[in-house]
């Protein structure tokens, strides 16, 4: 079966996020009252699988995220 998968990988709280700080500063310098800007990694893909939950969980742990510094979440929807 075919699935549409979206994975979001975030830095754990308290870890330094230089890209987020730079973009937040740039937006504030343009006059926008932005706070707590974060730049998670975001992946969208299609997956052919009989067990998408297990495979996506594996993909996150093996390649898409580093469990030491990241948290991750995913949404899996059947392709109609």
**Interface with its own copies by CB under 8 A: which residues?**
8, 23-24, 26-27, 30, 32-49, 55, 58-59, 62-64
What is the smallest separation between the CB atom of 68 and its own copies, expressed in angstroms?
19
Question: Tokens for 9?
Answer: 């990988």
| Cα–Cα dist 66/69, whole Å | 6
Residue 55 or 74 with smaller CB distance to its own copies: 55
Question: Tokens for 53?
Answer: 């939950």
Residue 30 or 68 with smaller CB distance to its own copies: 30
What is the smallest separation between the CB atom of 75 and its own copies, expressed in angstroms?
13
| Cα–Cα dist 12/30, whole Å | 28
What is the smallest separation between the CB atom of 66 and its own copies, expressed in angstroms?
14
Could you tell me which of 49, 77, 79, 59 has the C-alpha nearest to residue 9? Answer: 59
């Amino acid at each position: 079966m075919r699935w549409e998968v979206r994975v979001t990988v975030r830095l754990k709280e308290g870890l330094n996020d230089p890209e987020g700080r730079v973009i937040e500063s740039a937006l504030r310098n343009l006059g926008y009252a932005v706070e707590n800007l974060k730049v998670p990694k975001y992946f969208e893909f299609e997956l052919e699988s009989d067990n998408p939950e297990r495979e996506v969980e594996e993909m996150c742990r093996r390649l898409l995220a580093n469990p030491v510094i990241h948290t991750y979440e995913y949404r899996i929807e059947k392709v109609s």
